[in-house]
Amino acid sequence: MLAMSMAMPAQNVSFSKNNDMAFGNDWFFVEPLSYLGYGYQIKSGYPDKAGYSDEFFMNAMELGFRPFSAGLISIGVDWTMNTYRLDKTHLWGAEDHGKVWARDASSLPGSTTLKSSRLRVHTFSIPLSFEVRAGKGAFRIGAAGEYNLPANVRNRTNDGSKTTKEVKKGIGVNEFTYSAFGAISYGGFGIYVKYRPSFQFAEGNGPHFNNLCVGLVLGLGM
């Protein structure tokens, strides 16, 4: 499932006629909150320790024009949240404003057990896409430039009597990355695929994930 880099869902046939939030005409439109999506990350990096990781993304604004009746070229602003998890035998070790690494859960003191461990990155992206439609069906491809905010780690452990939450913030990332995506939909519901060939984490600051994401998208302008 893909990232605020964003895989963008295909939209309904006519924004200006069918969506009260959109404004424009038959050739140009501006629309807030065009789509949102959720996906599963198929990734490289710590493959022997990887757990279930996902992403959620949402469009903030989309501008587009139609070079012909069945075609659409658009540019937008997206927000994405990528969450990386390890298997239950490992947790994320981290330093505030520093780096992150995979840590063996057996290193926890005494009888302390791991409840959950999440590494999270928030991203803003500018996706540029081309869409072709036929009736209620649509196919979209595109690419996005991404700006990544510093990552954070949230670990929850239990010592037998109480649960403790540890938060580490400001973990270094590569601020600028990019991704490519494709989506196919019918009536505003569809699936998407996104690939990010660039690394989100700076050299020495974290794992080198090449994200491949597959998931579902929902157009809000139905």
Class of the CATH-defined domain 15-219: mainly beta
Q: What are 23-37's pLDDT values in tens digits?
A: 666 788 888 888 999
Return the exposure string of 179-215: e unless at least 16 CB atoms fall within 10 Å of the residue's CB, then b.
bbbbbbbeebebbbbbbbebbbbeeebbbebebbbeb
For residue 19, the tally of other CB atoms under 10 A from its CB is: 20
Q: What's the mean pLDDT when you consider all of the chain? A: 84
Q: What are 49-92's pLDDT values in tens digits?
A: 778 899 999 999 999 988 888 899 999 999 999 999 988 889 99
User: Of 107, 108, 109, 103, whose CA–CA distance to 90 is shortest?
Assistant: 103
Is residue 150 within 8 A of residue 124, CB to CB? The reply is no
Residue 110 phi, psi dihedral angles, 5° rounding: 55, -130
Residue 15 in this model has a pLDDT that exceeds 80: no
175 vs 21: which has the higher pLDDT: 175
d(CA 14, CA 221): 9
What pLDDT sits at residue 44?
Answer: 66
